[in-house]
Structure 1
Amino acid sequence: MQADLLQLSIEFLKGVGPQRTVVIRQELGIATVQDLLYFFPNRYLDRTRYYKINELQQSLAEVQIIGQITSIKEVPFGKNRKRLVASFADATGVMELVWFQGYKYLIEKLIPGKPMVIFGRLQYFNNTYSMPHPEIESLEEHKIGLKSGLQAVYPSTEKLNNRGISNRIFSKALEHAFSMANQPFEENLPLEIRKELRLVSKSEAMVAMHFPKSPDQLTKAESRLKFEELFFVQLQLITKNIVQKQRIKGYVFNSVGENFNTFYHNHLPFELTNAQKRVVKEIRKDMATGAQMNRLLQGDVGSGKTIVALLCMILAKDNGFQSCLMAPTEILANQHFSGLTELAKPAGLNIRLLTGSTKKAQRQEIHEMLLDGSLDMLIGTHALIEDTVQFKQLGLAIIDEQHRFGVAQRSKLWQKSVVPPHVLVMTATPIPRTLAMSLYGDLDVSVIDELPPGRKPIQTLHKFESARGNLYHFMRSEIAKGRQIYVVYPLIRESEKLDLKDLMEGVDTLSREFPLPDYAISIVHGQMKPAEKDFEMKRFIEKQTQIMVATTVIEVGVNVPNASVMVIENAERFGLSQLHQLRGRVGRGAEQSFCILMTGNKLSKEAKKRMETMVRTNDGFEIAEVDLELRGPGDLMGTQQSGVLALKIADLVKDKAVLQQARVFATRLLQTDPGLVLPEHESTRQHLGRLMQDKNLWNFIS
């Protein structure tokens, strides 16, 4: 289809015009013919089925009826407002058609006694069925326009409905657009791929998406367009990875020196798992190539990412470079600092902590040590990206829980070195394979898929409120064994909107059940000052308190091996990944640990699925797959990355196989023709160039 037609405003299409164009642009972001062509239906209706009025039931959603209008009247409602009400009848009964606004253009079409076809959503009120803002056309027009039994239904909004911008408006506009085209859509998939996968042409697929003649034709059209969309996503990501390695030079870490060897052989407090050893080798190899490393390190809760990070930082020191580790919260930064300091103490490594709470004198000292090179490793929060923080030679930047940082925040770290530092982004939130391939497909990925030996799987139990007495008995028995317990609540104070047990009420109840002086309770939540949180955390770590009552601030990074029980109140209010993260706060010692999910008796279907999944498995990657199915990619990516995958037709949950197939074919194409310079790949190269120029979606990684 020619470029000038694709960029034509939709106001020139039949039935649209300037006024409707404004509303459609505001509501749906559709401005050009190209936008409209890629505005795909969200479902299809069988328009061969016609209902009689006496067959209507309240359970029906949208129906189609043949009949005739018997009367029309304007009825006042509200202040100076009118609605149009028409009686519509067939041989079996009568119903009402109602328009609240935008009906003036319709009145001349509503001819009493003329056979008509109506289509729309049913409403039932005062023993009468009605249809607000129905699609309506003469039976004669309907038969001419009924090219197949399947009719596309497009996403809509209340404002579009109120302005009379119906499904039929979109269908007529699309018919006009296709009729104006005097050449087919440009083919952007290589011919060899289309032949191997037996994909229909681009033109056939586009027409069939909007006007399918049969379910089989629609299936073939969807297959073609889903593959194309995911294929070009993968081409962008793989191309970016290749270009990055070719163009972005990195520091060469070719020395495994005295610090690394001494630490590894003499001071490593435990044997690394095979998975940890494999990951360290992958990172070492990356940092020796002369290209900037850009690697994602995935590891489930408790898999030992921190020791891998430390080994990488020691490698940086052996090669004459400084390193930093940025965490999203002060609690997590403090946790990393104390853990790494303890590990690195025998090796004499100089590590400091920089957060928003760091005193001015300490800040000044840190700044001076960074500049003169005497500081090897800096751990911190967003404070690391402040302009005043300057390194002598930053060679490695590690980002923990990187999805919590925005693009600009991360890029500020790279700018602290003339040559970009090697980048290791870590996450303890397992990422489903399909999402990892789509969001992080331009990164090299390492996975620690093995837990340290001696860890017993955490037993997870789902209990209802009626079991609370047994819960307290169990908690007392665990405390009697010298263990400690987390109790986590979703809220800090009672909400009028949500009927939840809040943290403060929980503290009161627990204080009665576990009174002083036999028991002591710590409290931690997000509204406390950092010093107060640290004080309470320290009391719990030093076993001065047996129970830690908290909100989700303890979700990540808190490491108390003696804590063996995690009680999650109102567990139905938490997402699966959050439940899994909370569960990971226990099970860090040699003793058997437990996670108890407390819920109300009435659970939604999704909440039941979450509880069943948590009880059934401890595998974070399996949990992440279920979470993706339940919530979709948008929620899992979070606000920082929303919109990154603005897919028009493909679905990462339903189309896993297509995504994997697209990745294979994209990789194979770039291996055989890395620059897409062969004549048969010219249209693919041009389309890829337009995508990468128009949508710079992938720069949030590095």
Structure 2
Amino acid sequence: MRPDVLNPLFAEVETLPGVGPQVAKLLKRLDITRVVDLLYHLPTGVIERVRAKAAHNSLLGSNVILDVIPMGTREPRSGRGPMRVFASDADGNTISLIYFNNPGWAKKSLPIGEKKTVAGKLEAYGGEWQIIHPEVLPPAQGAELSIREPVYPLTEGLTSKRVRELAAAALERTPDLLEWVEPSLATREAWRTWRAAIAEAHRDPGTEDSRRRLAYDEIFANQLALVLLRQASRRKLGVPLPGTGELIGKLKLPYSLTGAQRRVVEEIRGDMAQSAPMLRLLQGDVGSGKTLVALMAMLTAIESGAQAALLAPTEILARQHHATLLKELDSIGVRVAILTGREKGKARESVLMGLADGSIDILVGTHAIFQEKVAYRSLGLAVIDEQHRFGVSQRLLLASKAERPPHLLVMTATPIPRTLTLTQYGEMDVSRIDEMPPGRTPVETRVISDERLSDVIDGLGRHVSSGGQAYWVCPLVEESEKSDAAAAEERARVLRQRLGDEKVGLVHGRMKGPEKDAVMGRFAAGDLAALVATTVIEVGVDVPNSTLMIVEGAERFGLAQLHQLRGRVGRGSGKSTCLLVRGQNLSETGRARLALMRETSDGFRIAEEDLRLRGPGEILGTRQSGDVAFRVATPEDVAELAPVAQSDAQLLLDRDGGLSGPRGQAARICLYLFERDQAVGLIRSG
């Protein structure tokens, strides 16, 4: 239960004056459902308004406040035209006040012959002065109106004035909260109290100190929650899994581990030998050999008498992992099973029985492997592969499922900037494979205009004729257009006309699992020369003979996605090429992305740039409940303030009495304010 002091902030917006169902519906479009959401719906800038006696050419383009007298109206002949109110200013100039929709409101608000004060942008059109949708102000307000007014992010049906009024009403309900910022930091930064900072951020968006204070608050809540989670996990006793090296020694590897792989394996084995459960993030670029490292971790668990589970983000990748592990482990007596949503009836029951009696050593699958009915005899290690959507809360819940929490290894081939590592994986230790195995050939990347699409198709034809295989990834499609699947089907139809029906396969998200697997199997076996796909092939698909990647509509993809897609080729000994086919209307951001893809294959540099261009909420793909979303803090704020906040959180727990001390009570309020209460609740229960 949240502290009572926060109750007014978490009240529904309908409790504010003038907010009925219709206004609440509009606010919901802006993710505003509670009073606290309004507080953090901060202005993005200000309008500079000029108090003028009369219209003048020098004021064109400016936001003005004028006293006018309505002289006549011209109503729309149809429902589509604008309502015009012709008004006269103090110098006798005629100004058209134009309103689209709701002519009745305009007539009522601007009665003929009655002096009114209006505010809006003065423009010239067709030889006349006009103001579109001016605000009509009470006379006193017109006289006293601030020349600087905050401007809010809006949705259709809400005006900036209305949001300003609602924000003011929310501020009236805002209590003074205990101070959680470390006193010396607050003094050094000359920060105001939380309530004063919120008020100033709404009143004057240009005040950087207040915005920065608010950014720090939510970063501090994030870091404190992660430190608390880390402490809670360290207090729980897991099962030490030191391993014997026997099974690892039996592996028949066609190549030696890189130095980076050996280092990371030792870090993981060192963690697993401890009674405190391992919480480790393994980062490695596409093709760096993370799966082999995970295999050695799983064998270490099995050598110690425990079971291991490998969670993959898609069924395609789960089945690929299953096939790979069977091939590597069957000969050394390690028993591997798979469980996805597709396994039904007797097949599913057989797997569940094998897990319960310990006859299955490694279970591979999708989220199904952690459902309530799935019971392990002795789960010792959980490996989560490419699971950006498996956030802090889910990681903690996974650990809480077992009486003795398993060791946890989270892997990602999407390099994560240090900024996001701190905020999304801050309770974990981090290992990084920063060396590529020998034999990985560099991928040549080219950018080509879609005006030359026929040349690209001809080049694909030559590539296929010479025995090569290729991916063709179709663009992400906007909601207003046809579906991604339809775009892929159309591209496959065109390529089949050129290459032959039997040479082109198609995979998209609307296909059923067995259909996708059948097509992928034919492509992996070399029966298909070209695979047309949506981004379902982004992660983990491994066909070494495929040396050409074509990404259509490349400007619609983020850098991290483009890097992942490029990583599908260059896996064999042949020279590989990635063609990024771009559209005609490139934004500056799109141009910068494609230029960087041409310039570098360094995934960590690409990730840092992707964070700068797209922001933290998007870089790891679809935002899920486990992800950290900051309402005020920018990537630059996080990079600068997260280390400070982490240090402050540790100081609070080590020196200042933790959550039960004087400042700890304020810090607890901060955690609940930023909805880190689930973590606190789990810590209390544990």
TM-score in terms of structure 1 length: 0.82
1:169 equivalent in structure 2: 165
Give, in whole Å, the separation in 2 of the partners of 1:209 and 1:373. 59
Instruction: Identify the match of residue 540 of structure 1 among 486, 501, 523.
Output: 523
Q: 5 Å matches for 1:234-383?
A: 234-246=223-235, 248-253=236-241, 255-263=242-250, 267-358=252-343, 360-383=345-368
- What's the CA shift string for 1:416-473, capped at 9, x where partnerless? 6432222222222233332332222233333323322332221110112344465456
Residue 540 of structure 1, CA deviation = 2.7
1:611 equivalent in structure 2: 594
1:190 equivalent in structure 2: 182
- What's the CA shift string for 1:364-391, capped at 9, x where partnerless? 4433332221221111224424555332
Q: Secondary structure at the match of 2:291?
A: helix
Q: Secondary structure at the match of 2:572?
A: coil
Give, in whole Å, the separation in 2 of the partners of 1:486 and 1:464. 18
Give, in whole Å, the separation in 2 of the partners of 1:380 and 1:386. 11
Q: Is the CA contact (8 Å cut-off) linking 1:83 and 1:98 kept in structure 2?
A: yes
Change in Cα spacing, 1:544 to 1:643, as seen in structure 2 (3 Å) is closer
Q: Secondary structure at the match of 2:363?
A: strand
Residue 55 of structure 1, CA deviation = 3.2
Query: Is 1:131 aligned to 2:132, yes or no?
Result: yes
Query: Is 1:150 aligned to 2:137, yes or no?
Result: no
Residue 542 of structure 1, CA deviation = 2.7
Residue 73 of structure 1, CA deviation = 5.7
1:436 equivalent in structure 2: 421
Q: Is the CA contact (8 Å cut-off) linking 1:391 and 1:416 kept in structure 2?
A: no
Q: Is the CA contact (8 Å cut-off) linking 1:628 and 1:653 kept in structure 2?
A: no
Instruction: Identify the match of residue 624 of structure 2 among 641, 645, 651.
Output: 641
Change in Cα spacing, 1:638 to 1:682, as seen in structure 2 (3 Å) is same
Residue 501 of structure 1, CA deviation = 9.3
1:231 equivalent in structure 2: 220
2:97 equivalent in structure 1: 97
Instruction: Identify the match of residue 197 of structure 2 among 179, 187, 205.
Output: 205
- What's the CA shift string for 1:274-298, capped at 9, x where partnerless? 3323322332233233222233322
Give, in whole Å, the separation in 1 of the partners of 2:184 and 2:368. 52
Q: Is the CA contact (8 Å cut-off) linking 2:281 and 2:411 kept in structure 1?
A: yes
Give, in whole Å, the separation in 2 of the partners of 1:368 and 1:695. 37
Give, in whole Å, the separation in 2 of the partners of 1:618 and 1:57. 52
Q: Is the CA contact (8 Å cut-off) linking 1:267 and 1:347 kept in structure 2?
A: no
2:45 equivalent in structure 1: 43
Give, in whole Å, the separation in 2 of the partners of 1:143 and 1:189. 40
Instruction: Identify the match of residue 377 of structure 2 among 376, 388, 392.
Output: 392
Deviates more, 1:332-341 or 1:574-583: 574-583
Q: Is the CA contact (8 Å cut-off) linking 1:235 and 1:688 kept in structure 2?
A: no
Give, in whole Å, the separation in 2 of the partners of 1:324 and 1:10. 42
Amino acid at match of 2:260: A
Give, in whole Å, the separation in 2 of the partners of 1:696 and 1:90. 61
1:592 equivalent in structure 2: 575
Give, in whole Å, the separation in 2 of the partners of 1:175 and 1:363. 56
Amino acid at match of 1:463: I
Deviates more, 1:662-671 or 1:457-466: 662-671
Amino acid at match of 1:245: R
Amino acid at match of 1:166: R
1:159 equivalent in structure 2: 157
Query: Is 1:628 aligned to 2:628, yes or no?
Result: no
Q: Is the CA contact (8 Å cut-off) linking 2:10 and 2:35 kept in structure 1?
A: yes
Residue 400 of structure 1, CA deviation = 1.9
Q: Secondary structure at the match of 2:375?
A: coil
Q: Is the CA contact (8 Å cut-off) linking 1:118 and 1:137 kept in structure 2?
A: no
Q: 5 Å matches for 1:443-592?
A: 443-468=428-453, 470-472=455-457, 474-475=459-460, 478-479=463-464, 482-490=467-475, 497=482, 502-514=487-499, 520-592=503-575
Give, in whole Å, the separation in 1 of the partners of 2:232 and 2:647. 19
1:28 equivalent in structure 2: 27
Q: Is the CA contact (8 Å cut-off) linking 2:212 and 2:637 kept in structure 1?
A: no
1:419 equivalent in structure 2: 404
Give, in whole Å, the separation in 2 of the partners of 1:472 and 1:158. 43
Change in Cα spacing, 1:632 to 1:95, as seen in structure 2 (3 Å) is farther
Q: Which runs of 5+ in 2 are unaligned?
A: none
Amino acid at match of 1:256: G
Q: Secondary structure at the match of 2:635?
A: coil
Q: Is the CA contact (8 Å cut-off) linking 1:390 and 1:416 kept in structure 2?
A: no
- What's the CA shift string for 1:154-193, capped at 9, x where partnerless? 34443334xx963663576478679xx8xx6643212122
1:675 equivalent in structure 2: 658
Q: Is the CA contact (8 Å cut-off) linking 2:197 and 2:214 kept in structure 1?
A: yes
Change in Cα spacing, 1:316 to 1:175, as seen in structure 2 (3 Å) is closer
Q: Secondary structure at the match of 1:606?
A: helix
Q: Which runs of 5+ in 1 are unaligned?
A: none
Q: Is the CA contact (8 Å cut-off) linking 1:632 and 1:653 kept in structure 2?
A: no
Q: Is the CA contact (8 Å cut-off) linking 2:109 and 2:136 kept in structure 1?
A: no
Give, in whole Å, the separation in 2 of the partners of 1:158 and 1:521. 45
Residue 595 of structure 1, CA deviation = 0.4
Deviates more, 1:590-599 or 1:124-133: 124-133
Q: Is the CA contact (8 Å cut-off) linking 1:119 and 1:135 kept in structure 2?
A: no
Give, in whole Å, the separation in 1 of the partners of 2:598 and 2:632. 34
Give, in whole Å, the separation in 1 of the partners of 2:129 and 2:589. 35
Q: Secondary structure at the match of 1:237?
A: helix
Change in Cα spacing, 1:279 to 1:344, as seen in structure 2 (3 Å) is same
Give, in whole Å, the separation in 1 of the partners of 2:488 and 2:411. 31
Residue 242 of structure 1, CA deviation = 1.5
Amino acid at match of 2:119: I
Deviates more, 1:644-653 or 1:110-119: 110-119
Change in Cα spacing, 1:331 to 1:132, as seen in structure 2 (3 Å) is same
Q: Secondary structure at the match of 1:582?
A: helix
Change in Cα spacing, 1:259 to 1:35, as seen in structure 2 (3 Å) is same
Residue 683 of structure 1, CA deviation = 5.0
Change in Cα spacing, 1:150 to 1:442, as seen in structure 2 (3 Å) is farther
Q: Secondary structure at the match of 1:687?
A: helix
Q: Secondary structure at the match of 2:411?
A: strand
Give, in whole Å, the separation in 1 of the partners of 2:44 and 2:540. 42
Give, in whole Å, the separation in 2 of the partners of 1:357 and 1:429. 27
Give, in whole Å, the separation in 1 of the partners of 2:418 and 2:127. 52
CA RMSD of aligned residues (A): 4.5
Q: Is the CA contact (8 Å cut-off) linking 1:503 and 1:551 kept in structure 2?
A: yes
1:652 equivalent in structure 2: 635
Residue 317 of structure 1, CA deviation = 0.6
Q: Secondary structure at the match of 1:221?
A: helix
Amino acid at match of 2:46: Y
Q: Is the CA contact (8 Å cut-off) linking 1:95 and 1:128 kept in structure 2?
A: yes
